[in-house]
Amino acid sequence: MPPTLTRTPALAATSSPGRTAAGWAAAGVAALLGAVAAGEVLEPPPTVDLVVANESAVDVTVVVDGSDGGPLLPVATIDAGEERTVEEVLDQGPSWVLTFRVAGEDAGQLEVSRSDLAGDGFRVVVPADTGGDAAAPDAATG
């Protein structure tokens, strides 16, 4: 007798609840490990709490920049004669350039090393003469 071929029915795709749960658990563990690894790689940049004392007679906006010429970072506007702590200012690296602005115009600049700034407790003093003519008593009345 010649051999005969018989067809076997196709196996239905089966999914065991145990296999599915194990697969999801493995995927979850992999995702968690990936998030932890990314967290170590993508740590937030260092920050400092910067104290700004405005000894001038006008409100001054302080803008900070690193020595690398990157983007300017507005820190705060400090009222005349006031002192304020600005929390979590991005650390600008070894050299900080602070620009003082009055009424939207540059009114002075201070370049200071990070080590000097740290030695002063991250405290910056806006000089009393900042603002020039804007600080004159009748400048506002014209």
Question: Where do the domains of the chain lie?
Answer: 14-43, 47-135
Task: Look up the CATH architecture of domain 47-135.
Answer: Sandwich (2.60)
Question: What are the tokens at 47?
Answer: 């920050």
Whether the per-residue pLDDT at 84 is higher than 50: the answer is yes
Confidence of residue 140 (pLDDT cuts 50, 70, 90): very low
The residue ranges of DSSP E strands in the chain, in sequence order, are 47-54, 60-66, 73-78, 83-90, 95-102, 105-113, 123-126
CA trace torsion 82, 85, 86, 91 (10° rounding)? 120
Q: Can you tell me the distance from the alpha carbon of 136 to that of 58, in angstroms, rounded to the nearest whole number?
A: 9
Question: Sign of torsion, CA 126 135 99 61?
Answer: positive
Under DSSP, is residue 114 helix (H, G, I), strand (E, B) or coil? helix
Q: Please state whether the predicted TM-score (pTM) of the whole model is above 0.85.
A: no
Say how many residues make up the chain. 142
44-62 tens-digit pLDDT: 899 999 999 999 999 999 9
Q: Would you state the structure tokens that stand for residue 48, as one six-digit string? A: 């400092």
